[in-house]
Structure 1
Amino acid sequence: MAKPDKQSGRQYTEAEVRVILERALRDAQTRDVGHDELVAAAEEIGISRAAIEAASRDIELVRGEEAARAAIVARRRKGFRSHLFSFVVVNAFLFAINALTPGPWWFFWPLLGWGLGLAFHARAALSSDVSPRRLRREIERSAERARREELRRLKEQRRAESMERKQRLERSAEDFGHAVEEGVATVLSRIAQEIRGSVPPGPAPAPAEDAARRQRIAPLDADDAESEALGEEEAERAGRRARGRR
């Protein structure tokens, strides 16, 4: 592939372009580059988007394999350290028993047998070689963990959104209830004002005037009752005299 330079007309081969880009990236200040920026920069020198996509997939695959290999090696070495700790503690305990009890020395037999197994374990744990099958299983396991983590995150996000919607509905219902109560109170107040406006109430009597009026009415009621009783008695006497004359 050759790319002409617009300013000087110089041309570079594909190998030269690769070397120039590698040196420019090495000499320049390193920073993270986004995928869109990478595609735009590649299109400027005549590399298609499909080629960039394929190369990025290969890089992601290599990155995933490296991460899987590192996880496997770390797990192996962790298991070896645990095995080594058990080996030292148990064999020290066996040595103490053999030293404190009479009889021949026998602790080195389990020490030799277990030490042989520990040596094979160390050889496998300290090696960085990982089979392709083991790498594939680790990549699949990592992808499954990532998928579960994403599902858990989405579930928590949905739960949070549901709680937020529920709180908004509760606040809306509470605001609506307050608005209805205020509206009903306003309507009842207006109705009461209209009723008071259509039937104006008379002036309320003063307490002193009301008491004097009651004192004036009380004697009048007593005189009326007495006059009525006298009238009935006179009528009865007149009736008796009329019957005596007959």
Structure 2
Amino acid sequence: MARPGKQGGRQYTEAEVRAILERALRDAQTREIGHDELVAAAEEIGIPRAAIEAASRDIELVRGEEAARAAIVARRRKGFRSHLFSFLVVNAFLFAINALTPGPWWFFWPLLGWGLGIAFHARAALSSDVAPRQIRREMERDAERARREERRRLKEQRRVERLERKERLERSAEELGHAVEEGVATVLSRIAQEIRGSVPPPPPAPADNAARRQRIAPLDADEAEPEALDEEEAHGAARARSMRRRG
């Protein structure tokens, strides 16, 4: 019941606050609320953060107990279904053997004995009662499985990080090798250019020498022609002198 406060604001009792919050949450759109949002909303209405933390731990504990109880009941019923299937198949096989062979009926003795056992199994499997010790042990197993899964996830994450680091190192080494090769090639090219700049030009090609000889050959022939004429005149004068002596 609302009653006016000293400053004109409304005030509610604890039961009214709980009823209002439950109705507001029921009428609001269905969505998951984060822990930080819950704490912020509680602090706005004056609930301390420590109280919210304690209440959330209690809720987590209750949720874990319910999950453990459901897992135990589901495992029990799965085991009972497997047991019942084996019971039906084996006893049907025994009945067929007893019916096809001569002699008294004996198949009902194992049927009765095994049936008594499966009746007790059904009573335990179909019941939803779970001892607190079993719930605690199941929660411990769940926590251990969660820790193993977390360790496995961290191990896989570290393995992936090592592979990525190895790939980065190999890529860096390859890039460094290419850079070194390019640098060496550049230095060798520069040295070759300097060497080519310091060496004198090569001699002319043989074709140029032949052309030059062809250009010089007529001059040599013109110079050699007067010399040939002088030799012929000398020979002619020598023959004339020899003929005068003979005469």
TM-score bin, normalised by smaller chain: 0.7 to 0.9
Correspondence 1:43-192 to 2 at 5 A: 43-192=43-192
Amino acid at match of 1:90: V
Deviation at residue 106 of structure 1 after TM alignment: 1.0
Alignment-derived partner of residue 238 in structure 1: none
Bigger Rg over Cα: 2
Amino acid at match of 1:13: T
Amino acid at match of 1:202: P
Q: TM-score, normalised by structure 2?
A: 0.81
User: Root-mean-square deviation (CA), in Å?
Assistant: 2.2
Question: How many residues get paired?
Answer: 212
Paired with 1:204 and 1:129, the residues of 2 have a C-alpha distance of: 112
After superposition, the Cα gap between the structure-2 partners of 1:184 and 1:135, relative to the gap in structure 1 and judged at 3 Å, is: same
After superposition, the Cα gap between the structure-2 partners of 1:3 and 1:122, relative to the gap in structure 1 and judged at 3 Å, is: farther
Amino acid at match of 1:168: R
Q: Secondary structure at the match of 1:119?
A: helix
Alignment-derived partner of residue 222 in structure 1: none
Deviations 1:113-167 (A, max 9, x none): 1001000000000111110110011000000001000100100000000000000
Paired with 2:154 and 2:45, the residues of 1 have a C-alpha distance of: 40
Deviation at residue 103 of structure 1 after TM alignment: 1.3
Q: TM-score, normalised by structure 1?
A: 0.81
Alignment-derived partner of residue 209 in structure 1: 209
Deviation at residue 201 of structure 1 after TM alignment: 2.2
Paired with 2:212 and 2:18, the residues of 1 have a C-alpha distance of: 120
Q: Secondary structure at the match of 2:30?
A: coil
Paired with 2:16 and 2:123, the residues of 1 have a C-alpha distance of: 44
Q: Secondary structure at the match of 2:40?
A: helix
Percent identity between the two aligned chains: 86
Alignment-derived partner of residue 227 in structure 1: none
After superposition, the Cα gap between the structure-2 partners of 1:76 and 1:50, relative to the gap in structure 1 and judged at 3 Å, is: same
Paired with 2:210 and 2:139, the residues of 1 have a C-alpha distance of: 102
Deviation at residue 4 of structure 1 after TM alignment: 8.1
Paired with 2:60 and 2:6, the residues of 1 have a C-alpha distance of: 35
Deviation at residue 190 of structure 1 after TM alignment: 0.5
Deviation at residue 209 of structure 1 after TM alignment: 3.1
Q: Is the 8 A contact 1:4 1:12 kept in 2?
A: no
Which residues of structure 2 form unaligned runs of 5+?
214-247
